[in-house]
Amino acid sequence: MKIGIIGAGNIGGNLTRRLAALGHEVSVANSRGPQTLTALAEETGAKPVTAAEAAKGAQVVVVTVPLKAVPDLPAGFLDGAAEGVAVIDTGNYYPQQRDGRIAAIEDGLPESRWTEQQIGHPVIKAFNGTYAQDILDRARPQGAADRLVLPVAGDDPAAKRTVRDLIDALGFDTVDSGGLDDSWRQQPGTPVYGNRGDADAVVKALAEASPERPAEFRA
């Protein structure tokens, strides 16, 4: 598949490594420009591009930049993507350490709904509670007892299927955690966030989430 990754940090870098190793045609972008991605490109075979180019022709686009940077993404960056493109949002709102105050999220809008409004395209929420290093180290074959289980939320069933299949190919199980209106259940501070339990534990953790945002994740 043609995959565009916007953000080449902890998560974007490791997804670039793993997805390129699986044989996907990966384009990767950061904020400073493709000339700063030479080492990652040489290591992985991914194509370094600008953020405006990353989604061109892509069937899957991963948005994996700090939440506060989402409004800075180039206008119309998804215009050249393949029809039906699945856009993965890995983002989390860290108002105190990184993102500053985002009023709509403080008022209760799920983080991924906010991101989808900023970029003007539906998103599938995945990887947001996954440790970046686990993307490299914890891939397992189907059926392995210690295979990690990732919650995946989103409203478009076809895009969600594409993303769940891709995550399976990366070596992780998934559970369908509902539509984006329910995606607060996997935001920072919830029981499932960073949870490395089995599918039953992940489903239980999603059910036990409280909609009240913990103080450390408020501005």
Ligand X SMILES: NC(=O)c1ccc[n+]([C@@H]2O[C@H](COP(=O)([O-])OP(=O)(O)OC[C@H]3O[C@@H](n4cnc5c(N)ncnc54)[C@H](OP(=O)(O)O)[C@@H]3O)[C@@H](O)[C@H]2O)c1
Least Å distance, CB 217 to ligand X, is 11
Radius of gyration of the chain (CA): 16
Q: Give the residue, chosen from 4, 48, 91, 171, that forms a contact with ligand X under the rule CB under 6 A.
A: 91
Looking at residues 6 to 45 of the shown chain, list those that interact with ligand X (rule: CB under 6 A).
6-12, 29-32
Q: Tell me: does residue 175 bind ligand X (CB under 6 A).
A: no
**Which part of the chain contacts ligand X (CB under 6 A), choosing from 40-48, 62-70, 117-125, 173-181?**
62-70
Q: Give the residue, chosen from 109, 132, 139, 170, that forms a contact with ligand X under the rule CB under 6 A.
A: 132
Q: Judged by CB under 6 A, how many residues of this single chain contact ligand X?
A: 27
**Positive or negative CA dihedral for 121, 123, 128, 131?**
negative
Q: Tell me: does residue 64 bind ligand X (CB under 6 A).
A: yes
Q: Tell me: does residue 170 bind ligand X (CB under 6 A).
A: no
DSSP string, 65-99: S-GGGGGGSPTTTTTTSPTT-EEEE-----IIIII
Please, which residue, 31 or 118, has the CB nearer to ligand X? 31
- For ligand X, the nearest residue by Cβ is 9
Q: Give the residue, chosen from 82, 131, 138, 139, that forms a contact with ligand X under the rule CB under 6 A.
A: 131
Q: Tell me: does residue 67 bind ligand X (CB under 6 A).
A: yes
CB atoms within 10 A of CB 101: 12
Please, which residue, 122 or 142, has the CB nearer to ligand X? 122
Q: Alpha helices of the chain — where are they, by DSSP H? A: 10-21, 38-44, 103-106, 111-119, 132-137, 157-170, 199-207
Residues binding ligand X (CB under 6 A): 6-12, 29-32, 51, 64-67, 69, 72-73, 90-92, 127-128, 130-132
